[in-house]
Amino acid sequence: MTSLIKVWELPGGVHPPEHKHQSLQLPLGTVPLPPVLVIPLNQHMGTPAQPVVQVGERVLAGQLIGAADGTFSANTHASTSGTVIAIEERAIPHPSGMNSESVVIEPDGKNEWIELTACGDYRSLDRLALLDKIRAAGVAGLGGAGFPTAVKLAPKSTQVIDTLILNGAECEPYITADDMLMQVRAAELVAGTLLLSHILHHPKNLLIGIEDNKPNAIAAVKAAVAGAAVNDPEAANIQVVVFPTKYPSGGAKQLIQILTGREIPSGHHSADIGVICVNVGTAVAAWRAVRFGEPLVSRVATVVGESLTTQRNIDVLFGTPISYVLAQHGFNATNASRVVMGGPMMGFTLLDLDAPVIKTTNCILAPSKQELPEPLPAQACIRCGMCAEVCPASLLPQQLFWYAQAEDFDRLESHNLFDCIECGACSYVCPSTIPLVQYYRAAKGSIRLHEIEKEKSDRSRQRFEFRQQRIAKEEAEKEAKRVARQKAAEEAKKKLAEKAAAPAPSSNVISAAAAVSSAVQVAPDEQKAKLERLVAAAKNTLEFQQKPLVPNKTNPVISDEQLVKQQVRIKQAELKLAEAEKKLADFSAQTSSTESAATSAPLTVAAAAVAPAVDMNDPVAAAIARAQAKLTMSPEDKARANLESLRARLAKAEEKVAAAKTEGSANLDALQQGAEKLQQKITEALAELTALGIKDEPIAVPEPVAPVAPVAEPVSAEPVSAEQSAAQAAIEKAKAKAAAMASMSDEEKRAEQIQSLQTRLTKARERLAKAEAENDANIEAFRAGVTKLEEKLNELA
């Protein structure tokens, strides 16, 4: 029973004048019922309660008017019977001076209570049922923070509680509410201690910590413990620990340190080190909630200060306006420097005196101007270190102040700003009267804001990065597909080139070409299949677009605009389909024509494979086709194209030279030089081509400009055979025809085709005759060609 445990030294701390005697001269009093009670729905830490009564409803004392919203919240009850006249935003006692939703009750003076469920033997009840009772009664920490008690009393299963501390330190000057409560309700405090011990599975240490400046309270509690020990052996286990008065020993962290020597690790709760610390008033409230089923509707509060005529402790109903309480105690507003809720060290100035008494109102301090004068202007910090000496958290307040001024958040973090409990000891001793705590509060606020901002920007950055990644991935996939296509095309071309190059030296070019032509038949087939797929896809799209628009969740009404859009889309799909069909038709036509011309121009097929049948009327499509062709070009093709363009340029250059010559231009020399250079380049390009293993075969290089040939010919690696030239000419013609055909109507096309077929037939016949005359080896091929041409002609005609 007596203090057997070691009392640890609190580092730092101050000894401000206590001013406790003036409020202890009178016994615990009450104030009459005020005309209205304003009961805020957030008197506690956590989510505000939700109103469960209506305006105009009659409520009884102890009736639930605000239901806890979630676990981390607390019930709110009517303090007396009366009528709800409003549920609206009212001023509440809060450092920010903010308003909160409140239930305004006009008391009827009868103080009729709801029916309460008493409980004779709490030990027979389940612990959860006990917690439910405490929760239902809306018990929250009465020490100042208003932490929902039921939450505090339900530690995690991993947190083994070995110590229960009842906090009766009350270290703040002026406040004597807990002192008074311990004096008049000592027996209930002891009963409450045993109840909490029961809920917490009977921790080993049951400590009631009281500062040594409250001899009456210590005596009362000790007597109560001795009295209870007669009936309950566990009560003998309760130790009343008296320790030296020092501010801020009443802080939960500090009291735990004083009584157990343990420190709560930064960012953790006391339950993590096996300690639960409960204010003495809270224990009494919890006891009454279980024993009598009585909700928390009033508390003991100190009303003190030299601007009052009466200074004492009162048992006051929640919702009583503070202005009313002050008026009952002879408040002299003209002499008051301010009205503070709480003590002079950590209390906050009330901005609206109509704010009501709430669960955390332990003191209403109304000092006179002489008692607590306005703070002196701050001087420069001389880093004397007195603040560091008194800091109970062993911080370096002078450094924190320095970095708070500089808004150096990193340094504030490294100096553990968030371990500051804002006790105000540093400000109290500061010889330069710097409002240090205010700087820390502001810095904490800006850091929190900063962190929220940072989180926001981090999130959007992540989103952005994710999007970038997604796009990159899509691009990579596209690229991979493209590369695959290119490879396939290159391979096809290589095969083609190999096949084309192999028989080239043979003296019998035409038969070889025919063989190649039959070999490459596969490619056009593929091409055709592709085009057919294209047509099928276009058809699908069209069908899809033609479906009527159906209203859905995201788009409940179909607007005209949407209809118009759909029309446009259908039109587009139709156009696409037409285009695809046309392509297919063109391709078929071309294939058939090339097939027929295969004997003379085998490579046209290859050309067609590379640049699929393009609608010559459509310049865009042509450009796309060209670009695609370029993309899929192999190095050889590129070299060839290069050569071709060089030749074209040379031709132009030579034309210019000629023109310059005739005109006698001054630029003649330069132009000639340019032409020479171009020739040089062509030589180089040819060399490159040879290096690539390809000979500059005019078969593959359609030469658009005549003058180039004579220039190119001398540097050509191989002399061009007569057959090759002929074949080339045939290609040229076929191409020209194809181009011409594209721009012709079907009728014209047909006529043209017939004509061309006739010409070709004639020529083929001539050749056949010649071959027969010369008894050529290819005679059979020529014959076959002639037969085919005849057949075709018949078909068309």
Using the rule CB under 8 A, which residue among 193, 249, 362, 398 binds other proteins? 398
Cβ nearer to other proteins, comparing 366 with 731: 366
Cβ nearer to other proteins, comparing 334 with 662: 334
Beta-sheet strands, E only, within 404-558? none
Q: Give kind and range of the element (H or E) at residue 748.
A: helix 746-774
Cβ nearer to other proteins, comparing 161 with 336: 336
Using the rule CB under 8 A, which residue among 150, 191, 381, 534 binds other proteins? 381
Q: Does 431 bind other proteins (CB under 8 A)?
A: yes
Q: Does 176 bind other proteins (CB under 8 A)?
A: no
Amino acid at the residue 734: A
Cβ atoms < 10 Å from Cβ of 731: 22
Site for other proteins in 325-344 (CB under 8 A): 333-334, 336-340, 342, 344
- Contact stretch for other proteins (CB under 8 A) within 161-169, 429-437, 469-477, 614-622: 429-437
Q: Does 393 bind other proteins (CB under 8 A)?
A: yes
Site for other proteins in 669-708 (CB under 8 A): none
Cβ nearer to other proteins, comparing 380 with 691: 380
**Dihedral (C-alpha) 666, 672, 677, 683: value to the nearest 10 degrees?**
170
- Cα separations in angstroms, 323 against 316, 344, 498, 794: 13, 19, 104, 116
List all residues 6 or more positions away from 575 whose beta carbon is below 8 Å from its beta carbon.
none
The sign of the torsion formed by the CA atoms of 787, 792, 793, 797 equals: positive
CA atoms within 13 Å, Cβ hemisphere of 7: 20
- Whether the link from the prior residue into 548 is cis, omega within 30° of 0, is no
Q: Does 145 bind other proteins (CB under 8 A)?
A: no
CB 240 to other proteins: min, Å: 26
Using the rule CB under 8 A, which residue among 31, 52, 396, 701 binds other proteins? 396
**Number of residues that make up the chain:** 797
Q: How many residues bind other proteins (CB under 8 A)?
A: 82
103 three-state secondary structure:
strand
Cβ nearer to other proteins, comparing 375 with 693: 375
Cβ nearer to other proteins, comparing 243 with 428: 428
Cα(223)–Cα(216) distance, rounded to whole angstroms?
11
Cβ nearer to other proteins, comparing 81 with 176: 176
Q: Does 309 bind other proteins (CB under 8 A)?
A: no
Cβ nearer to other proteins, comparing 98 with 537: 98
Using the rule CB under 8 A, which residue among 395, 542, 608, 657 binds other proteins? 395
Site for other proteins in 4-43 (CB under 8 A): 11, 14, 16-17
Expressed in angstroms, the distance from the first to the final Cα of the chain is 126
Site for other proteins in 241-270 (CB under 8 A): 253, 257, 263-268
Which of these, 715, 695, 708, 699, lies nearest to 636 by C-alpha position? 695
Cβ nearer to other proteins, comparing 17 with 719: 17
CB 382 to other proteins: min, Å: 5
366 three-state secondary structure:
coil
Using the rule CB under 8 A, which residue among 189, 290, 300, 350 binds other proteins? 350
Cα(753)–Cα(584) distance, rounded to whole angstroms?
18
Site for other proteins in 87-116 (CB under 8 A): 95, 97
Q: Do 179 and 216 contact (CB within 8 A), yes or no?
A: yes
Q: Does 438 bind other proteins (CB under 8 A)?
A: yes
Cβ nearer to other proteins, comparing 226 with 351: 351
Site for other proteins in 407-426 (CB under 8 A): 410-411, 413-419, 422, 424
Cα(507)–Cα(777) distance, rounded to whole angstroms?
11
CA atoms within 13 Å, Cβ hemisphere of 36: 16
Output the six-digit token pair for 232: 């309950």
Q: Does 435 bind other proteins (CB under 8 A)?
A: yes
